[in-house]
Amino acid sequence: MTANLTHNLRSDAQDNRDRIMAVAREAFAAEGLDVSMREVARRAGVGPATLYRRFPTKEALVVEAFSEQMAACTTAVDEGLAHPDPWQGFRHTVEKVCLLHVLDRGFSAAFTHAYPKAIDFAAVRDTAFRELAELIRRAKTTGLLRADFSVDDVVLLLMAAGGVRNGTPAIAQRLATLFLDGAAN
């Protein structure tokens, strides 16, 4: 639905929307979801009315700002499921998803708990968790993943990843490695 809206905007309105999205993504990634709508508008150089016209709620702004990361999470889980070795598929998924969450504090908060009822987020997140549960089930059949491991353990990892400030790919890899070592049988 949002794709149709963006194609019908005047060029100045599209420029405003693009600035709002760029500022929101940057601010949420660096500072988390505590950045106010008014602050996003100020940084984007638009009035609050312009921001609210495009995004009537903070939830709507967050969902749109993180749509690419949600797609990347879904892709990581799909790649894990497609891997011929269930353990390696599980490792791959954990490493990729951990990286996404370490590099973007706002996404981690939105994904794990901040906006649990956002329609777009909830549906994609629920599907990702169901597929992740299947990936975990498959990894357990290899005997390499602890029998008591669950999706909730991955949520704990994502919450920990979201707490990392100034994250880097190296930090994400270390966190994922420590997590996987603890999850291994």
Taken in order of first residue, the domains within the chain and their CATH numbers are 2-64 (1.10.357.10), 67-183 (1.10.357.10)
Q: What is the pTM of this model?
A: 0.78
Q: What is the pLDDT of residue 126?
A: 82
Nearest to 65 by CA among 113, 122, 17: 17
Q: Work out the angle between the directed axes of helices 119-141 and 67-82 (0-180°, nearest 10).
A: 20
Q: What is the pLDDT of residue 3?
A: 46
Q: What is the pLDDT of residue 116?
A: 54
DSSP label at 8?
A: T
First-to-last alpha carbon distance for the chain, in angstroms, is 45
Distance CA(50)–CA(83), nearest Å, equals: 45
Task: Give the residue-averaged pLDDT of 159-165.
Answer: 83
Q: What is the pLDDT of residue 9?
A: 65
pLDDT digits (tens, 9 = 90+) for 79-121: 999 999 999 999 999 999 999 888 887 887 777 665 555 556 6
pLDDT digits (tens, 9 = 90+) for 27-61: 988 888 889 999 999 999 999 999 999 999 988 89
Nearest to 92 by CA among 78, 106, 104, 102: 78
CB 28 within 8 A of CB 114: no
pLDDT digits (tens, 9 = 90+) for 126-140: 888 899 999 999 999
